[in-house]
Amino acid sequence: MRTPLTRLIWFISRLYRLIDPCFRGRRVASAAIAGGLIATSFATGVAAPQAVAASHTFSTFAAGQQVGQGYTPAQLDTAYGIDPLISAGVTGAGQTIALVELDSFDPADLQAFDAANNLPDPVVQQFYVGGKTFRLTNQGETTMDLEWAHALAPGAKIQIYYVKGQQANAAGWASVGQAVNSAVAAGATSISLSFGTCNASTGYQATSSALAAALSHGVSVFVSSGDTGALAGPVRECGRQPSVGYPASDPSVVSVGGTSLLLNSDNTQYSQFAWSLSGGGKAKPMLRPAWQVTPNLKPGKFRYAPDVSFLANPATGAEIYYNGDWQTAGGTSLGAPAWAAIWTLVKESATRSGKTVGAAPTYLYRVGNSSAYASAFTDITSGSNGVYGAKIGWDAVTGWGTPLVSGLATAVSSIAT
């Protein structure tokens, strides 16, 4: 338990990390897949799966430390307005979260995380897309996604669909599409994808068709917007032209950007602003979906991302238990499973009121354009990703902002049928 003094030291440490980028730890060099699908795992603070291009920041803590210095589930439950739902018994019960992943996890890490945060054991099912014909390594992405999806919606069931990372473009997209289709068929409420590519490369239609089918079935797919700011990925692989990676740019998904977050001593928000590496911008050549309507977007042909955001900056990141130790993790890949979990809470809350809630995109934009906006989102109005700046209302760095989950649930229920 933190005393007032340790809370002050901890707060100053976080503020210093924001000011001094050298405080952020070592960088892991990116590596593209030669001749194959170049996928980027958007986790910062944990290693990238092998055969996946990524750049990550580590922030490790002393072995045996009981609680890491990343934010805990209890802290983010308060910061993002989940507490009132927890008090009402809303936990994601009756809902299913599907994680599409490229690496494995250690059950012992999950058990340690749950025990430290007083969480129940989750119901987890694991599937290998195309059969168990490939090997996985534990590089931390699935660990983070699983721990935080469970932390925010402890009553939800979790499915994990493992996809082979190193494949030719068409085969890789077919595998991702198969994972999405399988999750929908198995009853998933929401799906999380924490990886992407520079663009919609050869064969992407297999994934795009699956995402469109999920949307039509009322299943919400949340995708990390990327950790390279206004660029689609690392310059070496994706170039310097501002763009949004795929599938974050797909018109059937909710693209999740990132913020930096500082909390008061009571875990309410002190300050929140756009993370400088939050992916976002014009998602050309993807067409703008009919639901993407906001006064801040002029009439046009192409999609923009992100749609919403969540804590991402590893300097103000979330705790995970990985490889037998507490670490701080971030990146927009934290936001995808977090939003997938949050949407299960929204759906369960609506169900309790006798309402049926479909896929998230239309609801998010309807709420964003309504008088309920201020009670459902924290509008992020400062910071930028190098090209696009945060501003009042929707923007191309943080979307509508971060959730105030209880208020969002109320707003969604009010427009559901």
pLDDT tens profile 210-252: 999 999 999 999 999 999 999 999 999 899 999 999 999 999 9
Q: Which CATH architecture has domain 4-415?
A: 3-Layer(aba) Sandwich (3.40)
Reported confidence tier of residue 64, pLDDT bands at 50, 70, 90 = very low
pLDDT score at 41: 55
pLDDT score at 32: 25
Question: In this predicted model, what pLDDT tens digit does every residue of 335-378 receive, in sequence order?
Answer: 999 999 999 999 999 999 999 999 999 999 999 999 999 999 99
CB contact set of 261 (below 8 Å; sequence gap of 6+) = 71, 79, 269, 271, 272, 311, 313, 316, 402
Is the pTM value of this prediction over 0.85? yes
Residue 49 confidence (pLDDT) above 60:
no
Query: Tokens standing for 58?
Result: 């580590």
**For 38-60, what is the mean pLDDT?**
37
Q: Does 298 or 125 have the greater pLDDT score?
A: 125
Question: In this predicted model, what pLDDT tens digit does every residue of 147-169 receive, in sequence order?
Answer: 999 999 999 999 999 999 888 88
One-letter amino acid of 70:
G
Task: Show me where the domains of the chain are located.
Answer: 4-415
Question: In this predicted model, what pLDDT tens digit does every residue of 254-299 receive, in sequence order?
Answer: 999 999 999 999 999 999 999 999 999 999 999 999 999 999 998 8
- C-alpha 387: how far from chain center: 22
Residue environment code for 15-42, b if the CB has 16+ CB neighbours within 10 A, otherwise e: eebbeeeeebbeeeebbbbeeebbbbbb
Question: Residue 240: exposed, middle, or buried by beta-carbon count in 10 A (0-12, 13-18, 19+)?
Answer: exposed
Question: How far apart are alpha carbons 359 and 216 in whole angstroms?
Answer: 8
Question: How far apart are alpha carbons 202 and 198 in whole angstroms?
Answer: 12
Lowest mean pLDDT among 31-40, 43-52, 68-77, 331-340: 31-40
